[in-house]
Amino acid sequence: MSTMNFIFAVLSMAAVMIFFRVMPLLFFKGKIKNKFLNSFLAYVPYAVLTSMTFPEVFHSTSSVTSATFGVIVAIVLSYFEQSLIVVALSSTASVFIVEQVMKFMTK
Amino acid sequence: MENKKLKLDRGEYRRGLKEGIPAGFGYLPVSMACGVASCKAGIAFGMSQFMSIMMYTASGQAAAINLLVGGETAVFMFALTLFVMNCRYLLLSLSIAQRFDSSMGTIQRILFGLFNTDETFGIAMKNKGKLNFSYLIGLVIPPYIGFLIGNAAGCLLNDILPKSISSALGIVLFAMFIGIIVPPARDSKPVLAVTIIALTISFILECIPFIKQHLTAGWIIILCAVITSLIGAILFPVEDKDEKSNNDDKLIEEKEEK
């Protein structure tokens, strides 16, 4: 994608963000009464984050093995209510360690 | 909703700033990860900052970076992905708008809306009673600044780091997403079910060669999210919590009056 095109892409994405952030505050005074629509919107964030994360996460580091370790560490730590910083950094650290160990073992 | 002059109540503004500063620090790691990811993907330093200033959404920027790396060329696809991802802002904005007091005229609503995020929404909604402009604008400034600083720092860091660490950092945003998904999935069965359905569909879509060949990564995310949320909405309709909490507020107010 050319730089110019990407600038257009960023501007269009910014327009979408502004649309969602500002428009409802200005134009809708009532609530969404439709239960189905409400439920749908409530589940969208989880569905999006999950489908963005899996399976791409397994290709996010230099090997599937190290990524798998990172995923496991992230799931366990967040299950036990660690903060996002701790989860992210520990997962990254475990990937780093596994990759170093693998390098050490294969050579 | 009529036009009102921009006036700030210093005390309320300070109270907002005070509550916003921790969120600003909280954004540092997220936005740093975002900066690392963008510069690692080959996006120029300036372009990465431009993205942050204009979009101000870590998950959205991560999605955009993924699309770019995946070779997406259609501007429309970028916008559509962001559209699907951010439908939830409709909900956030709608429910916070119920709590605005009379200081929120048109300009005030626009200014606050531009900088509102999930986190500032969460903090603001912890307040009992009505929300005024001075407090809200104080609240949203520190996270925005934190986000921009973090993103720039992440980009700079990416240039300095050795390759082994930079490779490990590839997982950082995904780990953060896992950190966002897991706690609610642990506490709520419907969310857990939705997560598992999304996981399954995502892997299935990934495995079908026909889809892999004809749909870009962006479409697969959108398809998966829409199918999953539809299934979730059919199987587990959400109770209207807002109505309940509003009633609670009323009860509290009535008690206080007594």
ipTM for the predicted complex comes to: 0.87
Is A88 part of the contact surface with chain B (CB cutoff 8 Å)? yes
Q: Give the pLDDT score at A24.
A: 87
Contacts of B46 (CB under 8 A, 6+ apart): none
B33 and A88: CB-CB below 8 Å?
yes
Give the residues across from B131 on adjacent strands. B100
Count Cα neighbours of A52 within 13 Å in the Cβ-side half-sphere: 31
Whether residues B1 and B120 fall in one domain? yes
Q: Give the pLDDT score at B252.
A: 47
- Helix residue spans in chain B (DSSP H): 10-40, 45-55, 58-69, 75-85, 88-97, 106-115, 118-125, 133-160, 163-168, 172-187, 189-207, 209-214, 217-235, 241-257
The token duo for B164 is 């082994």
pLDDT < 50 stretches in chain B:
244-258
Q: Evaluate whether residue B182 is within a structural domain.
A: no
CA A92 to chain centre: 15
Is A96 part of the contact surface with chain B (CB cutoff 8 Å)? yes
Nearest CA in chain B to A14: B55
B59 and A9: CB-CB below 8 Å?
no
Q: Evaluate whether residue B179 is within a structural domain.
A: no
Q: Evaluate whether residue B10 is within a structural domain.
A: yes
Q: Evaluate whether residue A69 is within a structural domain.
A: yes
Q: Evaluate whether residue A24 is within a structural domain.
A: no
Whether residues B196 and B143 fall in one domain? no
User: ∠ at Cα B244 (B243, B249), nearest 5°?
Assistant: 95
Last residue of a domain, one of B115, B146, B172: B172
Q: Evaluate whether residue A41 is within a structural domain.
A: no
Whether residues B93 and B121 fall in one domain? yes
> What is the number of structural domains in chain A?
1
Residue B170 DSSP class: G
Whether residues B157 and B224 fall in one domain? no
Q: Evaluate whether residue A70 is within a structural domain.
A: yes
Q: Evaluate whether residue A107 is within a structural domain.
A: yes
Tens digit of pLDDT for each residue in A67-101?
A: 999 999 999 999 998 887 788 889 999 999 999 99
Q: Evaluate whether residue B111 is within a structural domain.
A: yes
- The single residue listed with the structure tokens 């709520």 is B188
Residue B104 DSSP class: -
Is A69 part of the contact surface with chain B (CB cutoff 8 Å)? no
- Taking every pair of Cα atoms in chain B, the longest distance, rounded to a whole number of angstroms, is 67
A-to-B residue pairs, Cβ atoms closer than 8 angstroms: 286
Whether residues B160 and B221 fall in one domain? no
Selecting from B55, B197, B198 the residue whose C-beta is nearest the C-beta of A13 gives B55
A79 and B183: CB-CB below 8 Å?
yes
Q: b/e map of B124-141 (b: 16 or more CB within 10 Å)?
A: beeeeeebbbbbbbbbbb
Tens digit of pLDDT for each residue in B200-253?
A: 999 998 888 888 787 777 788 888 989 999 999 999 998 765 554 444 444 444
Whether the CB-CB separation of B188 and A57 falls below 8 Å is answered with no
Whether residues B234 and B150 fall in one domain? no
Whether residues B4 and B48 fall in one domain? yes
B181 and A46: CB-CB below 8 Å?
yes
Contacts of A12 (CB under 8 A, 6+ apart): B75, B76, B78, B79
Percent of chain A exceeding pLDDT 70 equals: 94
Nearest CA in chain A to B60: A13
Judge if the upstream peptide bond of residue A55 is cis by omega within 30 degrees of 0: yes
Q: Which of A54, A71, A66 is nearest to B179 (CA)?
A: A71
A77 and B62: CB-CB below 8 Å?
no
d(CA A71, CA A91) in angstroms, rounded, equals: 7
> What is the number of structural domains in chain B?
2
B100 in helix, strand or coil? strand
Q: Evaluate whether residue B258 is within a structural domain.
A: no
Tens digit of pLDDT for each residue in A2-61?
A: 899 999 999 999 999 999 999 889 887 666 678 888 888 888 888 888 988 888 899 888
Q: Evaluate whether residue B178 is within a structural domain.
A: no
CA distance A59 to chain B (A): 9
Using an 8 Å CB-CB cutoff, list chain B residues near A49: 59, 177, 180-181
Q: At what angle do helices A35-53 and B58-69 cross, to 10 degrees?
A: 50
Whether the CB-CB separation of A47 and B84 falls below 8 Å is answered with no
CA distances in angstroms from B61 to A8, A19, B49, B130, B166, listed in the order given: 14, 16, 11, 32, 19
Q: Taking residues A63-67, what's their average pLDDT?
A: 94
CA distance A14 to chain B (A): 5
Q: Which of A20, A22, A79 to mutate to test the interface with B (most CBs of B within 10 A)?
A: A20
Whether residues B11 and B109 fall in one domain? yes
Q: Evaluate whether residue B183 is within a structural domain.
A: no
Domain that holds residue B246: 188-252
Nearest CA in chain A to B53: A14
Whether residues B201 and B99 fall in one domain? no
Domain that holds residue A67: 61-107
Whether residues B53 and B162 fall in one domain? yes
Whether residues B29 and B155 fall in one domain? yes
Q: Evaluate whether residue B160 is within a structural domain.
A: yes
CA distance B14 to chain A (A): 24
Whether residues B223 and B115 fall in one domain? no
